[in-house]
Amino acid sequence: MKLGATDIRHMAGASGLVQNDAQKNAAESQKIEAGFLGYLKDALQDVNDLQVEAAANAEKLALGDQTYLHNTMLAYEKANLALQLTVEVRNKIVEAYQDLMRIQM
């Protein structure tokens, strides 16, 4: 079977399409990973901000700058709940990873 110049160009163009699709899929995968990683970083930053806010409220209360104890308690409860949620999400991620490792074996 003899291939002509147009056949070779057509095959080269088809392989270019496959490469372009692979590159697009890799780029989309990176966007998803970056999006998920960014989401996790933002969530952890929010938890940290709540912890810092709770500590600042406690300091203000101790110095007498804040007269309402309930503001400090609410800040601590928000920080505590956020931390508990973060720990549970981490546990679920670790559990899912372990399940995947068991499946692969």
Q: Model's pTM, two decimal places?
A: 0.63
pLDDT at residue 38, as a whole number: 86
What's the Rg (C-alpha) of the chain? 27
Instruction: Determine the angle formed by the axes of helices 5-63 and 69-104, rounding to 10 degrees.
Output: 150
| Residue among 44, 54, 52, 53 at smallest CA distance from 83 | 44
Per-run averaged pLDDT (10 residues), the chain, 105 residues: 51 53 69 78 93 94 88 94 94 94 85
pLDDT at residue 36, as a whole number: 79
pLDDT at residue 68, as a whole number: 86
Q: Residue 11: what residue type? A: M
Two structure tokens written together for 3: 């291939």
